[in-house]
Amino acid sequence: MTTATGPAYRALFCDLRTDQVVDSLPLTGVEFDDYIGKAGSLRATVPLPDQAMAQRARTALQPGRTAVWLERGSEIWWGGILWTCTPSGDEQGRMTAEIQAGTFDSYLDHRILNDGLEGKGVDQFDIARSLIDHIQAQPGGDIGIEYGTEVSGVRRTRKYAWTDVARIRELLDSLAALQDGFEWRIHCYRDPVSARRVKRLQLGHPRILTGATDIVLDRPGPLLSYSLPSDATLQANVWVARGESVNRNQARESLPTMSERMEATSDLAEGWPRLEGTSDHSSVTDRNTLNSLAEAGLHRSRSPQLIPEATIRLDGRMTPALIGATVRLRITDLWHPEGLSARYRVVGMTVSPPERAKAETAKLYLEGI
């Protein structure tokens, strides 16, 4: 992916377990994204102009066991696992291979708890790390996810049974979703000392925050386009969480364990209509845990959901490593004739590398602060 302007992108295809480089192949039509709170993806095409390139691609592109690293200049901009590869040929005999990959956290959707696991009164970050330790201790399960020693200051008691056959991502997300929970992602970067490629479990309580100062984006200026929707379709001021039944008597009706009804009474007093929300949590039978999940659900849903997006030209200040950074949008236009100056946190990013006459841009997904 050589471009006339800006650093060139390069894709490396490696063995997932050892990270040994298998090949570096050219890509076209690249688009990739990364987020806090969900897996990111990469979509691209590998051109196959001749037999030699086709053979290289057949060797390197093995879904499920190939790691994909995308470099921009000397920096790692994206890392993940190849999940699909679709070779195809057109009526003129031209061949390509369409590939799709998911960020390394997508691996946790393919792993389940293989034994019971329990933590009593331990920091919630330690529980998260123990889940990673568990899967990487299994034969063939170590893909090199690293972590630090940071703490959240929130202690929890959690007990997981292997009979729940729960996926590790589900367990991590459920733990993080508790009241006073945390955020997590797999951060990919190049170690500045050893230059090796790193997959690191990044944990943040209550949120992942990076950078010390705001990145200012102006319109007119590097801010090419934006949308600031206000969405009340998911708003709620009353929340109930439903768990699993603890009834072991088959002769009696089986009813799920329910949380208390959590209400934002101040919203109702201020004139808001009653808006109710619910959540289901399979395998959760403890009512205190369900109450915590209900409180967290109410906290997230009380205000209308604002999901801003901003498309910018990449100018060296913004990289995927800054997911979690704060930006300040300064907009003057017909909707904001008096001028808008608002702070947001970057919670996701979709990057479109430059190709031919197309400029390199990034769409930022933002969260109000």
pLDDT at 2: 43
**Contact (Cβ atoms closer than 8 angstroms) between residue 54 and residue 61:** no
**Do 40 and 94 fall into the same domain?**
yes
Tokens read off for 128: 């998260």
The number of distinct structural domains making up the chain is 4
pLDDT band with cut points at 50, 70 and 90 for residue 241: very high
Residue 239 has pLDDT above 70, yes or no: yes
Q: Is there a domain that residue 321 lies in? A: yes
**Do 224 and 312 fall into the same domain?**
yes
pLDDT tens profile 52-62? 999 999 999 99
**Contact (Cβ atoms closer than 8 angstroms) between residue 298 and residue 237:** yes
Annotate 266-333 with DSSP letters as a single string.
Answer: HHHHTTPPP-EEEEE-TT---HHHHHHHHHHHHHHHSSPEE--EEEEE--SS--GGGTT-EEEEEE-S
**Do 219 and 347 fall into the same domain?**
yes
Q: Is there a domain that residue 21 lies in? A: yes
Tell how far CA 132 is from the center of its chain: 16
Q: Is there a domain that residue 176 lies in? A: yes
pLDDT tens profile 154-195? 999 999 988 888 999 999 999 999 989 999 999 999 999 999
Mean pLDDT of the chain: 92
Q: Which residues contact residue 252 at a Cβ distance below 8 angstroms, ignoring those fewer than 6 apart?
A: none
**Do 224 and 346 fall into the same domain?**
yes
CATH number of the domain within which 197 lies: 3.55.50
CA-closest candidate to residue 24, choices 56, 62, 51: 56
**Do 93 and 125 fall into the same domain?**
no
More confident residue, 96 or 2: 96
Residue 3 has pLDDT above 60, yes or no: no
Q: Is there a domain that residue 210 lies in? A: no
Residue 289 has pLDDT above 60, yes or no: yes
Q: Is there a domain that residue 71 lies in? A: yes
Q: Is there a domain that residue 4 lies in? A: no
CA angle at 69 for the pair 75 and 147, rounded to the nearest 5°? 80
More confident residue, 151 or 246: 151
**Do 352 and 223 fall into the same domain?**
yes
Q: Is there a domain that residue 209 lies in? A: no
| pLDDT mean over 332-340 | 93
pLDDT tens profile 30-44? 999 999 999 999 999
More confident residue, 197 or 7: 197
pLDDT at 314: 84
Distance CA 240, CA 97 (A): 47
**Do 222 and 327 fall into the same domain?**
yes
Range of the domain at 85: 9-107
Distance CA 190, CA 21 (A): 15
pLDDT band with cut points at 50, 70 and 90 for residue 4: very low
CA-closest candidate to residue 204, choices 136, 135, 124, 118: 124
Tell how far CA 367 is from the center of its chain: 14
**Do 169 and 285 fall into the same domain?**
no
